[in-house]
Structure 1
Amino acid sequence: MKRIAMILSLALLASPVFAADLCSENLQKIDQSMQTTNRSETVQEQAMRLQEKAAQAQQAGNDKACVAMTEKALRLLKSSASNS
């Protein structure tokens, strides 16, 4: 029982660090994706808006919101690339 509690405690402590890393990584992926693939202007603008909001959330220390917005932008970019 103590082992399970310790594992859960470590997981909870590590999750903010993981979210911060994932946020930064996703922001870089968005940059790379926007530079390498042609997309419609609408998709580009939507992804850029999400990227800006994610960066603002990251600066405010809200890594969970940053991850959520970057993942949404990456899904948008991926779906538009597969539709082309």
Structure 2
Amino acid sequence: MKRSVMFLLASLVATPLFAADDLCTVNLKKLSDYKATASTLGQPLLDQIRDTRIEAQKAQAAGDTQKCISLTNKALQDVVNSQKGH
């Protein structure tokens, strides 16, 4: 019984970590996709996206998922704002 409870608790604790890592990966993919559609974005923003993507990939490789998510969320928001004309 103790093993079952411990396994259940361990899986519940680990689930958010996998979800966070997935969000980092998804956001990095979105940034790569924006780079592929460069004609709709200006060069300064493309440079900023590239630099942020590189920094986020380094954070992900170092195991700092929260930093990766924070960086990519900000870059994605910048893209959305530029498309709205802000």
Pairwise TM-score range, normalised by the shorter structure: 0.7 to 0.9
CA RMSD of the aligned region, Å? 2.0
- How far 1:46 sits from its partner (Å)? 1.1
In percent, how many aligned pairs have the same letter? 29
3-state DSSP of counterpart to 2:41: coil
Structure showing greater radius of gyration is 2
Q: Could you say which residue in structure 2 is the equivalent of 1:3?
A: none
The reply on whether 1:17 has 2:23 as its aligned counterpart is: no
Supply the distance in 2 between the matched residues of 1:25 and 1:46 (Cα, whole angstroms).
18
Q: How many residues align?
A: 77
Question: What residue ranges of structure 1 are gaps of 5+ in the alignment?
Answer: 1-5
Once the two structures are TM-superposed, the CA of residue 74 in structure 1 deviates from its matched residue by 0.4
| Aligned residue type for 1:62 | D
User: What amino acid is aligned across from residue 15 of structure 1 in structure 2?
Assistant: P
Residue in 1 that maps onto 2:64: 62
Give structure 2 stretches of 5+ with no counterpart: 1-7
CA positional deviation for 1:36: 1.9
CA distance in 1, matches of 2:80, 2:49: 11
Matches within 5 A, 1:31-46: 31-37=32-38, 38-46=40-48
Structure 1 residue 34: deviation in Å? Answer: 2.0
In the alignment, the residues of structure 2 paired with residue 20 and residue 13 of structure 1 have an alpha-carbon distance, to the nearest angstrom, of 11
Aligned counterparts of 1:32 and 1:69: Cα–Cα separation in 2: 16
Q: Which runs of 4+ in 1 moved over 6 A?
A: none
User: By how many angstroms is 1:79 displaced?
Assistant: 1.0
